[in-house]
């Protein structure tokens, strides 16, 4: 699914489950559209109450500790001010 094996998805979900204020994780970009390539990054935006850049940094660090061959592009949905990206 999304070019990621079941173990990888399960481990990523475990990391997200550690965030108490996180309500929803939205995958977008090439992995969501299905036109990803080997090594494509994983574009994610977060929905929830009181999410901050500190939350994003902690999440990035926890995901980095999974030692996956992917990079993550993580944003907080309410902080996106690019209309094209919001529609994307």
Tens digit of each residue's pLDDT (9 = 90 or more) over 63-86: 999 999 999 999 998 776 655 554
The ranges assigned to domains in the chain are 6-87
Full DSSP string of 58-81: HHHHHHHTT--S--EEEEEGGG--
pTM attached to this predicted model: 0.81
Q: In this predicted model, what pLDDT tens digit does every residue of 21-50 receive, in sequence order?
A: 899 999 988 998 999 998 899 999 999 988
- List Cα–Cα distances, 74 to 8, 28, 32, in angstroms: 17, 10, 14
Give, as one character, the DSSP assignment of residue 38.
T
Spell out the CATH class of 6-87.
alpha beta
- Find out whether 12 and 63 touch, Cβ atoms under 8 Å: yes
Question: In whole angstroms, what is the distance from residue 55 CA to residue 62 CA?
Answer: 11
H or E segment and range at residue 35? none
């Amino acid at each position: 699914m999304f070019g990621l094996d079941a173990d990888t998805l399960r481990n990523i979900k475990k990391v997200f489950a550690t965030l108490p204020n996180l309500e929803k994780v939205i995958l977008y970009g090439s992995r969501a559209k299905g036109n990803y390539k080997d090594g494509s990054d994983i574009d994610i935006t977060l929905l929830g109450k009181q999410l901050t850049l500190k939350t994003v940094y902690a999440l990035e660090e926890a995901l980095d500790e999974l030692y996956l061959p992917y990079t993550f592009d993580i944003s907080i949905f309410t902080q996106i001010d690019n209309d094209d990206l919001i529609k994307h």
